Structure 1
Amino acid sequence: YEPGEGLTGWIASHGKPLRIANVRDNGELRRIAEDLAWSKKYSEISAKPGQAYMGVPILSFPLPGGRQREVVLGVLRVSGKAEGEQFDAQDEALLSHVAAMVSIAIENSQRYEREKRRARYFRLLLDIGTELDPRRPIGEMLQAVVNRVRDGFRTEACQIYLRDEESASRVVLQAASGLPGALIGKLTYVVEEGLTGHIVHAGTPVQIREAAALGDWNDPHVAKVASHLPSGVCRSFIGVPLRLGDEILGTLELINKIPSAPGHRDWFTDDDEEYLRLLSTGICGVLEGARYLKTLGDVGVTAMRMQRIASFGTLAQRIRHEAANPLAVARLAATNLRSDIQNVLPPSPSQRGAGEEASRLIGRLDVIEANLNEASSKLLDLLKFSQRIGFIRTTTQWNDVIREALIWLAAERQRRGVEVHAVYEDLPPLFIEPNEMFGVLVTLLRLTMETLGTHGGLVEVRTSSSADGQCVCTEIHVPEAPLVETVSLIIEPAAGAPEELSPLHFEWALARETVEMQYAGSLRWEVQDKEACFVLELPLKEG
């Protein structure tokens, strides 16, 4: 029944009891109320002439500090008294009393279901809270959240969109449950576009309870998403903004409520929205924490990079100042030696042997002076280079860089009791900046030695060309690494890791960024049982 439709609809609309001697008597109906009419459907159509009818509303009464007015929950009606008998005021009072008891039973049932649902939601929120850790990879954390939310809220799909880091006017699907993983990172919205774009723009939740209403939003991805759902159609939707203060980070969305039992609701309620908003607040806090940690990590990496550059510049200045005086003395001595040799040259051609010896000495002196001039020029170039931020690449023998790194760490290796076995394959030259990649190798070797602890052990270094000949591969392998978990936490801090990060964490981040961003290579940390291995791959490029 619609409100006001028929006798039952009239009771529901007005919230008043109704007693009728004959439902077919339009005059009697008009005397009761002008808008009262028999709809002739359902049980009313079977009423016979002269048969009495009585109905009372099932009312939900006002609550102290809560609902301020009566609400009609339903209608309780009876008909068909013995022929000629009518319902009286006593019958109406009795039926109203029964309706009041039904109202209490309904409200108790609703309260029980509401409290049970609330307890289930709070357990769900506590459960999801265990997944929220800003030190976890964002993608992994969000995927765990959408999986839990989808199961807990009993929906066909759950998805999280976040603003694109490169364009704040776009949002990108970052995690989804119930949808193919191939859609993650592919589905995008412009702000104000479709349902998701509207939520991001307006910062307000959206609820949709009918499939027909989705068409009003002109959402470009509804059909594509629906094709991957078990039901094949988007029939209900709820989305809330991920709000952090005045900033909207993205959206949390649920699609298609799954009824808890046949005949139960298949749409989302205001309670669902309330708990989603509470959950979104927790997600935003973790996202902000992760963003802060990422910024802190970037600052650490940048500081490490600048420290290396500054150290290199300081070293170049020291070399220049400390070598300038010995070079000047050597050049002056060479000039004086040349003068002395010329002074002792024999004036007579008859002393040809002595003259030839003096000429050979002058030739050797020319070589010495040329090399002194070249050394001075190189030192000047080194000083100029140190005054520029950045590095200059050159064609380099990769095996030589590895040998230099091992020599550099010789004292530390000896102190730790680390034995190194190196196998070098003949490699084509690499177009790299030796100092930059030298730092990467030193970081990897130090991390490798950390896996051995204080008792030392064996480290195996191997270089090779890839099967396709497109890159150079370097493996730094530890067959027995008792502290491999400690190094894993340094490289990728996880839940429960120390709050104070090791400097090696930032050195690792700098090394990985250098390899991946500067050389389009790859740097991996692989662990199996107590074995550990760093794998560094650098593509071959023409100098």
Structure 2
Amino acid sequence: MDQGARDPRDQSASVPATPRLRLDALLEDLQEQVQRVRDTQNRVHTLLDAVLSIGSNLDLDVVLHRIVESAVKLVDCRYGALGVLSDEGGIKQFITVGVDEETIARIGHYPRGEGILGLLIREPHPLRLTVLNEHPDSVGFPPGHPPMTTFLGTPVQVRDRIFGNLYLTEKNGGQQFDAEDEAVLRTLGAAAGVAIDNARLYDDARRRERWLTASSELTRTLLSGADPHEALHSFTTTVRDLSGADLVTLAVPVSDTGKLVVEAADGTDAREVRGLALPDSTSLAAKVFSSGETIVSDSLSQDPRSESGSAAVLDLGPAFLIPLGTRERVRGVLQVANRQGGPAFPDATVKMITGFADHAALALEIAEHRRDAEELLVLNDRERIARDLHDLAIQRLFAGGLSLQSVLNRVGDRPEVAERVQRVVDDLDDTIKVIRSTIYALSERARPDTAGLRARLVAEVSQAAETLGFTPALRMSGLLDTGVPEDHREQLLAVLREALSNAARHAHATAVEVTAEATDTTLRLRVTDNGRGIDPAVTRRSGLANIRTRAENLGGTITLTPHQPTGTALEWTVPLHTDAP
């Protein structure tokens, strides 16, 4: 065999390796394409699951939180947030994922819509940033804020309005957000808009149902002749339930004094503000009462427009105050508030409570007219009874007495008969006097009381401000105008004058608080000051002796104790009898 000839089986050994390497590269590219398709398929499935998740619940708060959780999962990042916009263009609610409660507390107030967040509010378009702090609109982070570099944001639109913006930062693995992340987030934002719209419609329907039920119940209570005082307490409880607020108060005017008193309160620390008298110029409630306009505050206790009232007693945050009644006749001021750091009230809640308050004011006015009509009927009956007693009963009794007196002259020779006739005449005369006093009492009851105890308390406290140099804080609770007899009223006012005078002349106090309370069995007056306290060297205390005497004359007591941290606390307590006139 020719040795130069080659074995065909050896030809494969000499074929170059290039085709095989090219095939390997093609296979690797194919595997990468398949993996990308699988990743895209998984992301699409995850997106569909996210759409189903956010659309499967109709509670708006749950929906908003699920939107942020789904966005963080879809684009594989560490932090996510949804900023809900207010009507003024700022951020009124901020829902976060990835930031713990301790960090949130350390940061403080949620963003108001500045920097990059404000840019998305002004220009509602998707935005991707490689380095967040390098953008010219960036304003940096507050102390305690976790570091963030990469950024992806997109608006969430509900129908034709921008509801808020989705913000995502810190993509995992140190990678950058890409166009696919942006497309996925935009798709999620569109689905979120539909879910939010459905949840809001459901909330509106449920809120409207609760509003109608509460309105019907309030109207039925008022028109059934229930005590208006109890109806007002029920009203504040219903408002708190409808709004989900921490505290709801209702301030009403005291006669013609121009001052408001918190008549009803429900919620956290309601006892601290119930019965509190509000100044006529430095409280937001007084401004709402005088203007008839609604006032909304982001932080009531820190609002420069309010210097006193419940915001000075408690640390209150987001709140709104609305007039109860019409612009021409405001019957009171309703304040709905959350504690400091609590969520702001949605516009829908403000509108709902405003509508409910208007309905309540109308029901109160109808009930008041009904009570006036019933009272007028009673007064007419009293007038008719008094007239009949005077024109019929008294005249006939008087005529009968005259007839018996004429008989006396004819029985003068019979002493026993004459004595009996004279006794009957005297009885008739006494009966006429009793009937006349009854007629006078009926006429007196028909006259309205022009100055109740509450108005007189407000007047006394206002008058004391001239001597003290400041207006004492005043709290009033219970049926002070109707449940306290006149003699008790006069004694209580005298005790108050003496206590305020002592605080001004001897205690040199810079703050005084007056509390007047009437229960079914007790009338209590408490006056506290932050002065220098009781001087043990002074033994002559005629003012305190007078106060003690006034209490003992009514079967009551007086206690005088140190007030913490400085000052004196005087408590004057007397019993109230249920059968008192």
What TM-score, normalized to structure 1? 0.49
What TM-score, normalized to structure 2? 0.46
